[in-house]
Structure 1
Amino acid sequence: MAKKIGLFVAGAVALLVLLFHLGPLVGLAITLAVLYYAFKKWLKAPSTLGKVVWALIGCAALVASAWNVPALIALVAAYVLYVVYRKWNGVKDERIVPEADDPFVNFEKQWAELQKHY
């Protein structure tokens, strides 16, 4: 019971932090999208002037995204919410494959059987 209360409090705090930092998170997404677009255009620019213009736009977007430090707090809060959700529902780690379902273990067993017969 105490574990559920702790998870609830951690989730509530993380949700509030995420909601309060939603603006900088959207700003970070927009500036990173502009930076990506400017980089792609910089790679394809045929002239030196075009490369300089796209580089300046990319630098401005990079500086603007660096000023969105509160967005990193929002990302941490989103991760905490994800962890709380998984702990609350008791979700196990899917990356661990049981031995019976592991195709490599089954392959090794079948290969050993084939080696016996030949």
Structure 2
Amino acid sequence: MKKFGLLVLGIIAGIVAVASLGNLLGLAVSALVVFAGLHFYLKSDSTFLKIFWAIVGICGLFSAVANIPGFFGILAIVGVWYVVKKWNNQSVSFSSPIVKSDDPFVNFEKQWNELSK
């Protein structure tokens, strides 16, 4: 019964993700426009260019608001990822894994702190 629930959730999330690909693309372009507007606003020196890039950033924000269904697509992609992880009996963790290495050059600062104590 658990596999059936995962299958149904995966199918529904997959359909929602595919159906909102256009909104996801629009959301990505809007984010790019907002980022460019903010970046060039901070780099510009003249008042005219600051006003121009502020208007570009505001237009990008309005476009992002118009693509709110793209957020449902992001949630659907996360749902598909969750279903795949659970289907393969893998743990779902949002923390970064701790990688241990024996290479002294990788953990130089850690070893230096241990030596200087």
2:86·2:92 contact (CA, 8 Å) conserved in 1? no
Partner AA of 1:59 in structure 2: I
Structure 1: distance between partners of 2:57 and 2:35: 8
- 2:14 alignment partner, SS class: helix
- 1:46 alignment partner, SS class: coil
In structure 2, the partner of 1:22 is 21
In structure 1, the partner of 2:112 is none
Task: Please state how far the C-alpha of 1:96 moved relative to its aligned partner.
Answer: 9.6
- 2:49 alignment partner, SS class: helix
Task: Please state how far the C-alpha of 1:56 moved relative to its aligned partner.
Answer: 0.4
Aligned length: 98
Structure 1 pair 80/51, CA: closer, same or farther in 2 (3 Å)? same
Partner AA of 1:39 in structure 2: L
- Unaligned runs of 5+ residues in structure 2 are 101-117
Return the index of the structure with the highest Cα Rg: 1
TM-score (structure 1 length as normaliser): 0.77
Structure 1 pair 29/88, CA: closer, same or farther in 2 (3 Å)? same
- Unaligned runs of 5+ residues in structure 1 are 102-118
In structure 2, the partner of 1:45 is 44
In structure 1, the partner of 2:69 is 70
Task: Please state how far the C-alpha of 1:15 moved relative to its aligned partner.
Answer: 0.2
Q: Which has the higher helix share?
A: 1
Partner AA of 2:10 in structure 1: G
Partner AA of 1:48 in structure 2: T
Structure 1 pair 47/28, CA: closer, same or farther in 2 (3 Å)? same
Structure 1 pair 59/13, CA: closer, same or farther in 2 (3 Å)? same
Partner AA of 2:33 in structure 1: V
Partner AA of 2:50 in structure 1: K
- Cα offsets for 1:66-90 (capped at 9, x unmatched): 1111101101111111110110000
2:27·2:64 contact (CA, 8 Å) conserved in 1? yes
Task: Please state how far the C-alpha of 1:92 moved relative to its aligned partner.
Answer: 2.1
In structure 2, the partner of 1:3 is 2
Structure 1 pair 76/45, CA: closer, same or farther in 2 (3 Å)? same
